[in-house]
Structure formats: C-alpha cells, structure tokens
Amino acid sequence: MPSTTQTICSRCVMDSTVPGIQYFDDGRCSCCRHYDEVCVKDLHSDSDGQQRLEGLVERMRRDGRGRTYDCLIGMSGGVDSSYVAYLVAKKYKLRALAVHLDNGWNTELAVANVERLVKTLHIDLITHVLDWNEFRDIQVAFLKSGISNIEIPTDHAIWAVLLRTANKHRIPYIIAGNNVTTESIMPESWLYGSKDSRLIKAIHKRFGKVEMKSYPSLSTFDYVYFLLARGIRWIPILNYIDYVKADAKRLLIDELSWRDYGGKHYESIFTRFFHASYLPEKFGFDLRKSYLSALVCSGQITRQQALDELANPPAPAEILRQDRDYVLKKLGLSNEDYDRIVREKLRSYRDYPNSDAVWRRFSTMVGWARQRVTRVDG
C-alpha cells in the first residue's frame, strides 16, 4: 500500500511538498515511478532509436527538396534549445528556420546567445515580439488568478507561434528541445500544462483590463487542424539521443561561445522570479527538486549532489530582491499588490473554465496523434 507520511523519496529528491505524492514499500515515490514509465514509452536513445532518427533526418531532407527549409526550431537561448540548434544545423546539416519569442523578459545574455548561435550556425531567425501592453495585462491577470503556473501565457504563445510559423512557411517538421531525461519529473499537481487557451481566455476575462487582440493562441480545433489536417509533426529530438545536459552545455561553451546562466530557464527574468520567488513563497514549490530528480533518475548526477544543491537558496538573496523589484515595476504592481497576491487563497485551473476534460476525454486520440507526429517510418 502506498503511504503519504514519508517526507522524501529514497531514490530521487521529490518530497511531501508535492500534493498527492505517494511512497511505495521500497521508499520510492510516485514521481520517479512515473518517470520510469515515461522513459519506457518516450525514450528511444538506444541503437534502434538512433536508426529511427537517421531515417527521420533523411526524410526531412527529402521532404525539404524544393523548399527553403527542412525544419523549424524554437530558440530560447537555453541549453536544450541551443543544443537542438547545434544538432540540427551542424550534426545533421538540416536547413532550419528558428523562431524566438520576445515576451519582454529575455535577459541580454539570452538574446546574445541566440544571436551568436544563429550567426555561427547560419540559421535564419524570426523573432516574434508580443505586444507588451497586452501581454503585461495577461501576466498580471495570471498573478491575480492565484494559480501556480503563471508561465502558461508564455509557453502557450511559443507553441502557437511555432505551429503558425510552420504552417505559414509550409514546414512540416518542428524539432523541439523537450526531453524525457531532464524534464519529465513534473507533478501535475505543481503545474497545469500550457495547451489550454480556454483557461487563458477565462483568466484574462476575469482579471484583465486590456483587450486581447494579437496574443497568439491555439484552440483545441487549431491543434487538430495543424497536427492532423496539415500534418505538422513535432519531433522531440533529444529523446532519440543519449542526452547528457552537462556535456551539451560544455560543447555549446567550447564550440559556439555560448554563455551559462547559472540555473535552468534563467534566461528570462520573469522565469527566474517565477521559480525562485513566486512558487516557493506562495505555494512552497521548489521546481529545482523536479529537475534535479530527473537528473538523478537518468544517472547524470547523484542523489547527494542534488541534496547539496537544494541546501542552497535558488539564487542569492540580492538577486531575488532585484528580480522582484524589477518584475513588479515592469508589471506596474506595488509591493502591497504583490504581498496580497502571495497571501491570497491558493487556486488551481479547476477554479476557472478550462478544457482539461476535453483533453482527457480525447487522450486516446492525442496519444495516437503523438505517436503519429513522432513516428519516423510512417
């Protein structure tokens, strides 16, 4: 019988700050058990997967004949997407078009990394700039909503811009940096996913003040249209290789003069504020536990290394204070506004209109679509 009284998993570093976490007789938790299941299903880093990837690259080249590009990639300037750019352009010599989303929060270092990479790798880049007045209003609405995942508006916009750009330029393949080995221990109870535009519209309608006119969003119908009718395929390329994050980072630094940020997703000031201030202060969630647990389970670091890292604060106190001041000023919120936001009741996506039930009802179809979009021999 699983128990919930234990505080920390004996294998990874997930603990009782995860609502609904369960521990089994061997002391291991439901998060890393789920990780193992996802690995079996989605990880293809063996020689068979390697062959499938070679086949896929061949196919992208073939389908790209007579077109300007073979594939589309998203670029945040972070390790995962930068390494994807390297693999695609340098290792596999595919002609990629890159898309970078400017939501107003990227650090100068992130922008410099993106620019250096596309220049060195000879990749064409489109930067999609969100309307700041409108996007600011959506972000403030999410903060006021009291739900944990205030990054949904950014993550959703990235996918919307990618799919719309792929469609516009008739590029059938989007190569993504999402990966099992470093990302797949993320409890659903911590962060609701970003695919749900109904939730975004509902929260904005309730708390927003500026009309939403140009924000790039995707309805459930849009997903069906782009992925099934238009046949755009999403390929998580890092699941087809033996992806070791530290090695990828070293290669980017040595070969492409890429510069480190000192924290996952810290290429954006808002994201750093989200991870290091908002989530710990309001919800008691420390996302480093999930990223470090995935690295432990994939054998890239030891459990002790993860525990040692967690013993330190997510960022120095001075940086946290600077980030908070910067974020509040840019969003037009006072310290009192933010204190109220942190104190107010914790809410979840279930408190607002959303499409979760639709996505769950069609999970079989989505599973089939996922297989289709990542299948390489069809």
Footprint of Zn ion (CB under 5 A): 9, 11-12, 14, 29, 32
Structure-block tokens of residue 93: 């010599």
Distance CA 277, CA 203 (A): 22
Which positions ≥6 away from 75 have C-beta within 8 Å? Answer: 81, 82, 85, 98, 99, 100, 114, 117, 118, 125
Taking phi first (over 0 means left), then psi (-120 to 50 degrees means alpha), and beta for anything else, what does residue 303 get?
alpha
Residue with smaller CB distance to Zn ion, 13 or 57:
13
Distance CA 234, CA 13 (A): 31
Minimal distance, residue 265 CB to Zn ion, in Å: 22
Residue with smaller CB distance to Zn ion, 11 or 245:
11
Structure-block tokens of residue 337: 């506004």
Residue 165's φ and ψ, nearest 5 degrees, are -70, -45
Distance CA 134, CA 11 (A): 44
Residue 177's φ and ψ, nearest 5 degrees, are -95, 0
Does an H or E element contain 106, and which? Answer: none
Residue with smaller CB distance to Zn ion, 15 or 196:
15
Residue with smaller CB distance to Zn ion, 29 or 237:
29
Distance CA 56, CA 51 (A): 9
* Residue carrying the six token digits 């459990």: 303
Minimal distance, residue 30 CB to Zn ion, in Å: 8
Residue with smaller CB distance to Zn ion, 28 or 100:
28
Residue with smaller CB distance to Zn ion, 9 or 56:
9
Distance CA 128, CA 175 (A): 18
Does an H or E element contain 357, and which? Answer: helix 356-361
Minimal distance, residue 190 CB to Zn ion, in Å: 14
Taking phi first (over 0 means left), then psi (-120 to 50 degrees means alpha), and beta for anything else, what does residue 279 get?
alpha
Structure-block tokens of residue 369: 């679509």
The strand pair at 173-176 and 71-74 is best described as parallel
Minimal distance, residue 38 CB to Zn ion, in Å: 13
* Residue carrying the six token digits 């945040």: 76
Residue with smaller CB distance to Zn ion, 16 or 322:
16
Residue with smaller CB distance to Zn ion, 14 or 235:
14
Minimal distance, residue 18 CB to Zn ion, in Å: 10
Minimal distance, residue 126 CB to Zn ion, in Å: 40
Minimal distance, residue 32 CB to Zn ion, in Å: 3
Minimal distance, residue 20 CB to Zn ion, in Å: 13
